[in-house]
Homo-oligomer: A and B are copies of this chain.
Amino acid sequence: MTLKTQTKSELITELKAKGLRLTPQRERVLDIFYDLPNGEHISAEHVYTTLKQEKVDISLATSYRTLKLLASHGVLREVDFGEDTKQYELIRDEDEPHHHLICVDCHETKEFESSVIYAEAQRLCAAMGAELVDVQVKLYARCKK
């Protein structure tokens, strides 16, 4: 189910091979994620309003459907920050997931990686007799503002 990340055109080829169609809406949605800084996450609503601004024909329903579809094919990852909306980000590297620092005051988020955490996750997982699929770490903290 999960795909390794690749260029946009490789991805499209692979999705087509699965029987999915490349509609203008889907292509624009992919563009948005490829243009996003590494690790940044957005909501269906955000995708919708961004594309609307760019005069792309898309409905909110399609935005929701597309994100869900891409997530189920391993292109996007659904991440949760206890906000009221689901967030999605492009999966760029299956092997070392990045994590999030979330300010409890201003709600700003920042991405980071840590091979220490990843190694520990592997170890713990093995110790509990399970096979690691993904690690998500959230550091709730207070930034200096």
**Partner-B contacts on A (CB < 8 A):** 78, 80-82, 86, 101, 103-104, 110, 112, 114, 116-117, 120-121, 124-125, 128-144
**A134 / chain B contacts, CB cutoff of 8 Å:** 104, 139-140
Partner of A125, one of B124, B131, B135, B139: B139
23 contacts between A and B (CB under 8 A): A82-B86, A101-B124, A101-B128, A112-B124, A112-B128, A117-B120, A117-B121, A120-B120, A121-B137, A124-B139, A125-B139, A130-B139, A130-B141, A130-B142, A130-B144, A131-B141, A132-B140, A133-B142, A134-B140, A135-B138, A135-B139, A135-B140, A137-B138
- Flag if B116 contacts A104 (CB, 8 Å): no
Instruction: Give the distance in Å from the alpha carbon of A18 to the alpha carbon of B120 in the complex.
Output: 40
**A139 / chain B contacts, CB cutoff of 8 Å:** 121, 124-125, 130, 132, 134-135
**A125 / chain B contacts, CB cutoff of 8 Å:** 101, 139, 141
Partner of A120, one of B110, B116, B124: B116
